[in-house]
A and B are shown apart, each in its own frame.
Chain A
Amino acid sequence: MASARPDHRALAEALEHRVLDGPGETDPSLRRNVAARASGGTLMEAPSDDLARQISESACRVTDAQMASVLAAAGSEKAAFEIVAAAATSAGLLRWRQGIKVLEEADNAPA
């Protein structure tokens, strides 16, 4: 067990920066668009749009066909994986930011 409390904010930021902005087989602008879509943002090109929305709303309903379409469009398994990772990370970090925001509001509120 570690001797200091984890710096969750720094770890969350490092994850976001690496997955959305770091080097990969896909362009970071594509990953940023996927992330925005998975956080309820605007439409993007198919088939990434469909998969990003599905991962955000109900990942357990992702189908083989949805993944196959993204794989065909992305051109490699690593590129398809990056799109999945970007969508999932975005949905999780949306919850991280929202959770921390309301906690800070509660903690800063007058007693």
Chain B
Amino acid sequence: MRLPEIDRGDGLGSRLLIGFISTVSGMRLPDAARVAFYHKHFFGRPMGAWTQAAMRGLSDWSVGERELMAAMVAKWNSCAFCVGAHAAVAAKVMERTQVDAAIADFRASSISDELKATLAFLEIMTLNPMELTAEDAKSVLRAGVSVEALTDAIAVGSLFNIITRYADALGFALPTDDEFYRAASMLLKRGYAS
């Protein structure tokens, strides 16, 4: 973590909370959660509100599918922390082999055609946003995805284009596979609101 104050917590309440959660969970609280507690009124609150709504709110996409979208955006942005974290959550509610296959090559994987079409859209949006066209959106709609569902996916993709950037800029520490697995249970249960 390149800003030590985020690691420590920026107030007595945050420090106690970080210590308490780390003790109860038996693992170091991941840096993503420490950022959510830091300078909360400035960033954690509005970011947590939108992320919770996009990842856990009403949607045609399952929680697992949305977590897989997050992991894919992380892959395209080369954010190892977010690939590990969100693939682990997706694997809690989908088959691990299916998640791994999708991350390796989503077009050749066994995910639905609707999700493949949506991921193809999110890939362009992430890597070359100004090259995105109405024809790309039409391709997703033709695959059977509703306007509302594509809107939800664009929100997930946009949020993880924010999250992956601050995760890498701040230098998030990379948990072990076991820590990712245990943190995924917390994220699945408690969500993203800070």
Contact = CB atoms under 8 A, between A and B. Distances in A.
Given A5-B148, A15-B47, A95-B157, A60 B79 contact: yes
Contacts of A30: none
B151 A62 contact: no
B184 interface: no
B158 A93 contact: yes
Interface stretch (B20-28, B85-93, B161-169, B173-181): B161-169
Main DSSP-derived SS at the B contact region: helix
Contacts of A82: 39, 42-43
Contacts of A67: 2-3, 169-171
B170 A84 contact: yes
A4 to B, nearest CB: 6
A36 interface: no
Interface string A68-94: 100100000110111011011101111
A35 B135 CA distance: 28
B49 A14 contact: yes
Contacts of A95: 125-126, 129, 154, 157-158, 161
Interface of A: 1-8, 11-12, 14-15, 18-19, 22-24, 51, 54-56, 58-60, 62, 64, 67-68, 71, 77-78, 80-82, 84-85, 87-89, 91-96, 98-100, 102-103, 105-107, 109
